[in-house]
Amino acid sequence: MLHLVTGGSGFLGHLIVERLLEAGEKVRVLDIWRDDTISKDAEYLEGDVRNSDAVARAMKNVEVVHHTAAKVPITKSGDLFRQINVDGSRTVAEEAVKAGVGYFVYMCTSSIFGRARCPVTPDTPYSPVEVYGQTKMEGEIAVKTVCGEAKMPLVLVRPRTILGLGRLGIFQILFEWISEGRNVYVIGDGRHRYQFVHASDLMDAYMLALKLGRPGVYNVGAAEFGTLREALEHVIVHAGTKSRVKSLPVSLSVGLLKLLDKLSLSPLAPWHYLTYHKPLYFDVRNLLDIGWKPQYSNDRMFRESYDWFLENRNVRDQIVEQGGSPHRKALKQGILRLLKWMS
């Protein structure tokens, strides 16, 4: 069976490609750049999801499409969010229908729920609060519409914030500060329940849904988790440094971070400063009921990710230069370096 993975060179796309190859499937990658760390057993096609001709070529003989290509919050991509997350998603779905693809999987995000009432279920209404969540929501709606009209089976996967080996981005800043004994900060008191998901558990859920052939909505998050403050305090204890979790006033912090964001002085995107002081977690009972067995609690995934960061500090720059995935790159800290120096 031939699978097409759009955005297959990205953090999630890479994981999906490797899992499919391990399962003995044939895989084709469509992306604007080639990740040389992906197995040579995967076919690579260079192309943009906004280009219908490139997408149509990639669909030849494909039986399952895995659509992961997207602009993520830390890229601060402006108009590209809509062009890729909405228009690109619609194009991929339309070309899949034209090519007679049998199955479509759309990788969405928990950001479509913004500050929703918890626990979030597959039936929880959309409530995005920033441009990334808004465009991912519209992309999901576009894919649902196209697949629904064509009666093409559709799986919607919505992960919580992902941790795992190789995950950098905003977590690189957090782990660097902890390793140096700097204080880390939460907006508000941090005593709200906050769920993450380990990449391995996410892929287990993803492949299980695929194996069972069950179209539907799968919200994926850790089964064991506590508050955001607990997650940070526990990884600090594991690190054995003098870092402390410090609280910042909500209104002042959000207003200042919004200003710094507009001035391009901070790496934090609206998704971070508008939502991280609010609870967000999924009810995952529907996944547990079909046999999903997550291995990672919030604490375990933070410990593992922190240890990976330490073990790879000397070669990290070499690793991230091999690819263009924002989640596998170290972020420039901007004005946060001043806060770090003061901590």
The pLDDT of residue 90: 98
Q: Do domains 2-162+196-220 and 166-194+225-278+299-342 have the same CATH topology?
A: no
Statement: residue 342 has pLDDT above 80 = no
The pLDDT of residue 327: 47
Residue extents of the structural domains in the chain: 2-162+196-220, 166-194+225-278+299-342
CATH for 2-162+196-220 is 3.40.50.720
Q: Which residue has the tokens 């199955």?
A: 103
How large is the average pLDDT for residues 4-17? Answer: 95
Q: How confident is the model at residue 321 (pLDDT cuts 50, 70, 90)?
A: very low
166-194+225-278+299-342 to CATH, choices 3.90.25, 1.20.1640, 3.90.120, 3.30.300: 3.90.25
Least confident of 126-140, 162-176, 305-319: 305-319
The pLDDT of residue 330: 60
7/11 Cα distance (integer angstroms): 9
How large is the average pLDDT for residues 83-97? Answer: 98
Q: What does each C-alpha distance from 251 to 84, 187, 254, 257, 342 come to in angstroms?
A: 32, 9, 5, 10, 21
207-254 residue pLDDT tens: 999 999 989 999 999 999 999 999 999 999 999 999 999 999 999 999
63-81 residue pLDDT tens: 999 999 999 988 888 999 9
Q: Of 192, 196, 312, which Cα lies nearest the Cα of 250?
A: 192
Statement: residue 125 has pLDDT above 70 = yes
Q: How confident is the model at residue 334 (pLDDT cuts 50, 70, 90)?
A: confident
Token pair listed for 138: 């519209």
Q: How confident is the model at residue 108 (pLDDT cuts 50, 70, 90)?
A: very high
146-175 residue pLDDT tens: 999 999 999 999 999 999 887 778 889 999
**R_g over Cα of the chain:** 20
Q: Give first-to-last CA distance, the chain, whole Å.
A: 54
204/209 Cα distance (integer angstroms): 9
Q: What does each C-alpha distance from 290 to 209, 213, 239 come to in angstroms?
A: 9, 12, 36
Q: How confident is the model at residue 318 (pLDDT cuts 50, 70, 90)?
A: very low
User: Looking at the whole model, is its pTM more than 0.75?
Assistant: yes
Statement: residue 341 has pLDDT above 80 = no
Q: How confident is the model at residue 133 (pLDDT cuts 50, 70, 90)?
A: very high
340/1 Cα distance (integer angstroms): 50
How large is the average pLDDT for residues 122-134? Answer: 96
Q: For residue 53, how many other CB atoms are within 10 A of its CB? A: 9
